[in-house]
């Protein structure tokens, strides 16, 4: 990992005692309130790549949406420098339109000009690998793509420009090894350009290879925040099958 000490003096995201709640309808209980994020506080800096880990339902994706400004905190505040960009598995691309058309619309949605999109179009297609098999798949409707192809295209569009804060929710999990290597290299470039990257992934190896810092969330609260390898090791030790600790 590169040394980002100089950049790290500049905060890009500050979460101050953030609580996120939402209401769930259904069942005999009627409406119940879910406390998804509980008192989360952290500071992220320029040039950092931060992995968010934890079990299903621990609040990782909810926290990303709060940083992106999509979920207002019930308590506390999130402060960001610039406009965060959320890249998720369910990020909005239009299934009835071709991949080519989605590149144009996605680029415009990120604030790129049509000229910038034209200049970067071939690079986006090449990065995604969608046409690698010799088929002109980029001209087909998105509904014909596998989930992996769609996720690769989303990341490729987002990676075509620099971001103050890029939030990635599981988008790297569906790519093959070649695409994941390209993705890690592009994330490193974004960090060198003073961007901050947050990555949610259930693949701990992806976290340790991509991030220098990790935050372990459990039941919506921060359990550990520190160097990625140390936090991942602690998380894996915690989730290891209990049969190893029951001898004797």
C-alpha pair distances (Å), 227 with each of 31, 51, 115: 40, 10, 41
The reported pLDDT for the residue numbered 171 is 63
Mean pLDDT of 174-198: 82
3-state helix, strand, coil in the chain (%, to 5): 40, 30, 35
The reported pLDDT for the residue numbered 246 is 45
pLDDT band at 245 (very low <50, low <70, confident <90, very high): very low
Phi, psi of 92 (to 5 degrees): -75, 105
Q: Give dist(CA 77, CA 75) in Å, integer.
A: 7
Q: Give dist(CA 96, CA 79) in Å, integer.
A: 36
Report the largest interatomic distance among the alpha carbons of the chain, rounded to a whole angstrom. 69
The reported pLDDT for the residue numbered 42 is 98
Give yes or no for residue 187 having a pLDDT over 80: yes
Mean pLDDT of 140-157: 88
C-alpha pair distances (Å), 22 with each of 53, 58, 74: 21, 14, 9
Give yes or no for residue 51 having a pLDDT over 50: yes
Mean pLDDT of 48-72: 93
C-alpha pair distances (Å), 52 with each of 28, 37, 56, 80: 34, 13, 12, 18
Residue 155 falls within a domain, yes or no? yes
The three-point CA angle 204-210-216 to 5° equals 45
Q: Give dist(CA 105, CA 97) in Å, integer.
A: 10
CB atoms within 10 A of CB 171: 24
Residue 69 falls within a domain, yes or no? no
pLDDT band at 173 (very low <50, low <70, confident <90, very high): low
199 burial type by CB count under 10 A (0-12 exposed, 13-18 middle, 19+ buried): buried
The reported pLDDT for the residue numbered 36 is 94
Helix and strand numbers, DSSP H then E, in the chain: 7, 9
Phi, psi of 142 (to 5 degrees): -60, -30
The reported pLDDT for the residue numbered 4 is 47
Residue 212 falls within a domain, yes or no? no
pTM over 0.75: yes
Residue 243 falls within a domain, yes or no? no
Residue 117 falls within a domain, yes or no? yes
The reported pLDDT for the residue numbered 247 is 43
Residue 192 falls within a domain, yes or no? no
Strands (DSSP E) found in the chain:
11-25, 31-45, 49-53, 75-80, 84-88, 165-169, 196-200, 213-218, 221-227
The reported pLDDT for the residue numbered 131 is 87
Residue 54 falls within a domain, yes or no? no
165 burial type by CB count under 10 A (0-12 exposed, 13-18 middle, 19+ buried): buried
Mean pLDDT of 182-205: 86
Least confident of 66-75, 129-138, 173-182: 173-182
pLDDT band at 172 (very low <50, low <70, confident <90, very high): low
The reported pLDDT for the residue numbered 244 is 46
The reported pLDDT for the residue numbered 248 is 39
The number of folded domains in the chain is 1
Give yes or no for residue 25 having a pLDDT over 90: no
The reported pLDDT for the residue numbered 77 is 97
Question: Domain limits at 142?
Answer: 88-163
Question: For 65-120, how does the pLDDT look when each residue is reduced to its tens digit (9 = 90+)?
Answer: 999 998 999 999 999 988 888 876 445 678 899 999 999 998 888 888 999 999 99
Residue 116 falls within a domain, yes or no? yes
Mean pLDDT of the chain: 86
β-partners of residue 52 are: 200, 215
């Amino acid at each position: 990992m590169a040394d980002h000490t100089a950049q790290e003096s500049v905060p890009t995201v500050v979460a101050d005692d953030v609580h996120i709640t939402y209401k769930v309808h259904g069942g005999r209980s009627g409406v119940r309130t879910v406390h998804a994020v509980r008192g989360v506080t952290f500071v992220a800096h320029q040039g950092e790549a931060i992995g968010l880990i934890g079990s299903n339902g621990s609040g990782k994706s909810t926290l990303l949406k709060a940083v992106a400004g999509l979920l207002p905190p019930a308590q506390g505040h999130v402060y960001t420098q610039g406009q965060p960009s959320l890249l998720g598995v369910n990020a909005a691309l239009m299934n009835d339109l071709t991949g080519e058309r989605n590149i144009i619309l996605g680029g415009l949605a990120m604030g790129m000009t049509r000229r910038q999109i034209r200049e970067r179009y071939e690079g986006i297609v090449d990065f995604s690998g969608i046409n690698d098999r010799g088929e002109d798949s980029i001209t087909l409707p998105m509904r014909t793509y596998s989930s992996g192809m769609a996720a690769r295209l989303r990341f490729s569009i987002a990676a075509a420009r620099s971001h103050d804060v890029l939030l990635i929710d599981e988008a790297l999990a569906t790519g093959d090894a070649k695409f994941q290597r390209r993705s890690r290299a592009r994330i490193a470039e974004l960090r060198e350009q003073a961007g901050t990257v947050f990555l949610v992934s259930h693949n701990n190896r992806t976290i340790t290879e991509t991030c220098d810092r990790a935050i372990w969330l459990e039941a919506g609260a921060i359990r550990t925040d520190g160097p990625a390898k140390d936090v991942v090791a602690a998380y894996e030790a915690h989730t290891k099958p209990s049969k190893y600790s029951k001898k004797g």
